[in-house]
Structure 1
């Protein structure tokens, strides 16, 4: 709260407790209504802190307020966070990411930085102790007494970062969550925290509980950080968030051939999306990942589905229900719940046929054709 100018802080401090406890995003847009999201809901916020679904009744942040907020977020030095501005966000103490919207400035066709910033999305980072307890047992490699190489997949804001944070804690503690693994020891975990969200380090020290055997490279590019970890910190498991660039894939391949297990996340809806993204498709088709975890959050609940590499390849060549993460978060849970979770043998969602195909030869495949939006 200390980051916000006093007038905005006064409004937010009066938000009802039930919303504050589940607060996930605060959206501040210049001369437009103040909005928050909590649980699976969103509301506009009046000047007295009460909530409404009528945007015309909401508190409207002024240009001066937004300028003051930017000064506070950047610690009065935009140049000090120039690299983060180029990527469209700033991470502040506590691991909270503030997404920025405004006018982009290009240099040779690439975004060099942002200016005229008039929109802020404050994403609240929270630790969820125990969040990983139902997922980790399904990722175990009993022969090697560790986890399989795993990719966690979901659209944004479904809990990927929260899950890998708790998985790091469990692995570092040796809390495997399975009776057959109760004699296993803990593992050395290395986290490459490019966006400072997983560990929320301050001056190099994590502020989230990551267990006793965890090392963090903070604000370090993933590909470079993975190689630094392998060369100098001898991790048994490396954790990275939001992979997708060619250099990420190259570094992951180097790590797994150096005997290190990899736990990563990526943005996608389902396995067809994984195979539609060139870098992820190459990793998947090469059999890099032994397990895939798909997260879906609907109606305030987070569900997960774990499939093996073999099942992933099978799913790309058969008709299946596009349900994981494909519906709005505020959709009725029972109507959107996957058939397998309902205990039913008949899916009520639209079917999409995905045909197996080789690695795309173009850099960016046609998104409409790849995702099957004509049928969805």
Structure 2
């Protein structure tokens, strides 16, 4: 990751505990901001600060150079990812992109004049889901993991997949890893430990896994990240056919989910809800299908 960053930024980042670093945001002609222990700070020459006047500022040229470096100076090879607003230069590392969209035939084909980068650092926190497994895996439930953005949904999902390897009946898990954030695959090898019974489809739309993967891999569990409205018909049919589901969705709390326009569909599919409030280091709250809290 360090080779992507402007030198004055990487020199400071190297001194931080990377286990606590969630995001680095580079904005043209603005202070560098980081999400550290789920709190926002500016970056200064001495480390972290909340004083804007002491912060490191990067130029538009530096932001764009970081983008080109992340693309290995071959923007064309990342064109499909760029059209979706992000790139993934190495296993699990995702960089969101802002700039001027370039259209062709009414489709975005690239982004130029890069103005902002959001570098999101994935983490494997083994056993972060373990103490909740009694509510989720005994027996295996249809689990929906819920939190605001950047609060550990994917990390919790990754570990829940890993924990299934320790069940008496070893379930096969099909991972629909649309953005390569769950597995961090490089050359066909997952960089994050998903246990011994996970099969991963990387960088394909989720509906490909729903249509083809279920039929060909015959999983006991389907895992996928950040579900949306168009996924629910598939998920309902898959669950009715006996395959269990581990999924994530954005949300603040149980009231937020219950007032979500998708709640009716959600309630037809899932029977366990995990809410993460302070990342995977904080307490999670588990609710049953009636939104009764199960853990104290």
Please indicate, yes or no, whether the TM-score normalized by the shorter chain is above 0.5: yes
Instruction: Output the CA distance in 2 between the equivalents of 1:230 and 1:204.
Output: 19
- Partner-residue secondary structure (3-state), 1:259: coil
Shift in alpha-carbon separation, 1:92–1:277, aligned structure 2, 3 A = farther
Gaps of 5+ in 1: 176-183, 316-339, 342-376
Instruction: Output the CA distance in 1 between the equivalents of 2:158 and 2:171.
Output: 15
Residue matched to 1:305: 285
Q: CA offset at residue 16 of structure 1?
A: 7.2
Residue matched to 1:180: none
Shift in alpha-carbon separation, 1:10–1:193, aligned structure 2, 3 A = same
Q: What does 1:1-376 align with in structure 2 at a 5 Å threshold? A: 1-5=1-5, 8-15=6-13, 17-46=15-44, 48-105=45-102, 113-142=110-139, 147-171=140-164, 173-175=165-167, 184-246=168-230, 248-278=231-261, 280-285=262-267, 287-297=268-278, 301-311=281-291
Q: CA offset at residue 224 of structure 1?
A: 1.6
Aligned residues: CA RMSD: 2.5
- Partner-residue secondary structure (3-state), 1:200: coil
CA deviation profile, 1:123-151 (whole Å, cap 9, x unmatched) = 11110011111222111354xxxx11111
- Partner-residue secondary structure (3-state), 2:158: helix
CA deviation profile, 1:278-311 (whole Å, cap 9, x unmatched) = 4x324224x211111111118x952211111123
CA contact (8 A) 2:2 2:10 kept: no
Greater C-alpha Rg: 1
Instruction: Output the CA distance in 1 between the equivalents of 2:192 and 2:208.
Output: 23
Q: CA offset at residue 105 of structure 1?
A: 4.6
Shift in alpha-carbon separation, 1:251–1:62, aligned structure 2, 3 A = same
TM-score (norm: length of structure 2): 0.90
Shift in alpha-carbon separation, 1:14–1:310, aligned structure 2, 3 A = closer
Instruction: Output the CA distance in 1 between the equivalents of 2:106 and 2:289.
Output: 38
**Bigger shift: residues 30-39 or 98-107:** 98-107
Instruction: Output the CA distance in 2 between the equivalents of 1:275 and 1:151.
Output: 13
CA deviation profile, 1:138-167 (whole Å, cap 9, x unmatched) = 11354xxxx111111111111100001011
Residue matched to 1:373: none
Q: CA offset at residue 204 of structure 1?
A: 1.8
Instruction: Output the CA distance in 2 between the equivalents of 1:92 and 1:21.
Output: 20
TM-score (norm: length of structure 1): 0.72
Instruction: Output the CA distance in 2 between the equivalents of 1:244 and 1:97.
Output: 20
Identify the structure with the greater strand proportion.
2
CA contact (8 A) 2:226 2:249 kept: yes
CA contact (8 A) 1:293 1:305 kept: yes
Gaps of 5+ in 2: none
Shift in alpha-carbon separation, 1:92–1:49, aligned structure 2, 3 A = farther
**Higher-RCO chain (CA-CA 8 Å, sequence separation at least 6):** 2
CA contact (8 A) 1:94 1:125 kept: no
Q: CA offset at residue 10 of structure 1?
A: 4.7
Shift in alpha-carbon separation, 1:218–1:292, aligned structure 2, 3 A = same
Instruction: Output the CA distance in 2 between the equivalents of 1:108 and 1:282.
Output: 37
